[in-house]
Amino acid sequence: MPVSTNDLKNGMTLDLPEGLCTVVEFQHVKPGKGGAFVRTKLKNLRTGAVVERTYRADEKLEQAIIDKHEMQFLYRDGNDYVFMDTGTYEQIQVPTAALGDAASYLKEGDGVHLQMYRGDIVGVDLPAAVELTVAETEPGIQGDRVSGARKPATLETGLVVQVPLFVNPGEAIRVDTRTGEYLTRA
C-alpha cells in the first residue's frame, strides 16, 4: 500500500528494497531554497541495523501492513519451534532463525504475538520481562554478599545471564527481554 513520505509516523513499517524497515525517527525539512525533504532513521526488522535515508517530500513508499497473531509456544521440534494459533488452534513450525533473540526467552506454554507479513514471520512481541528457572550456576556461599557482585547463570532456555551471588540453581528469576538482564527473583 503506497504511503507518502509526508504521512510517515514513528513505528510505521515500510517495505523497501533493503527489506522491511520500521520508522524510528523522521523529520520534515524545508530549506530556504530548493524542495522540501524528509530525513528518516529506519531500523531493519531482520538485521536490526539502523540506517538513515533522505526522501523528497511527497515521495511514495510502500507501507507494509504487519499482522499480529496471538500464538502459544507448544514445543521444540529439532531446530523448529511449534506454535499454536490461540484462535484457530492451527499449528505452525517456525525456524529458530525467524525468531531471532526471542527464542532465548521462550518456554513451553508461553503466549506471544508473532508479527507476520505476506505469510513470513518478521518479528516476535514478547512481554517486557519473563520468568525463567536457573538451570545451572555456582551455588551461593553463605556470607558472600559483595555488593553488586555477579556470576553467570544458565537458564532453562539456554540463555546465560549475569545474576547476583545469592541466586541458586532451581530458582525462578525475572529477566528483561529487551536487555537480557536479571531483574529480580520471582
pLDDT in tens, 86-119: 888 889 888 888 887 888 888 888 888 888 888 7
39 contacts: CB under 8 Å, gap ≥ 6: 26, 27, 29, 52, 53, 54
Instruction: Find how far residue 139's CA is from the centre of its chain.
Output: 31
Is the pLDDT at 147 greater than 80, yes or no?
Answer: no
Q: What is the mean pLDDT of residues 135-140?
A: 82
Closest CA to 27 of 63, 53, 65: 53
Domains within the chain, CATH numbers bracketed: 2-62 (2.30.30.30), 67-125 (2.40.50.140), 129-185 (2.40.50.140)
Long-range contacts of 150-155 (CB under 8 A, 24+ apart): 153/182
Average pLDDT, the chain: 86
Give 84's pLDDT tier (boundaries 50, 70, 90).
Answer: very high
Three cell numbers at 87?
484462535
Backbone angles phi, psi at 103, to 5 degrees: -60, -30
Angle at 80 between CA 128 and CA 120, to 5 degrees: 70
Question: What pLDDT shows up at residue 48?
Answer: 76
pTM score, whole prediction: 0.69
Three cell numbers at 160?
546465560
Give 146's pLDDT tier (boundaries 50, 70, 90).
Answer: low
Is the pLDDT at 13 greater than 80, yes or no?
Answer: yes
- Name beta bridge partners: 161: 153
Q: What is the mean pLDDT of residues 115-143?
A: 82
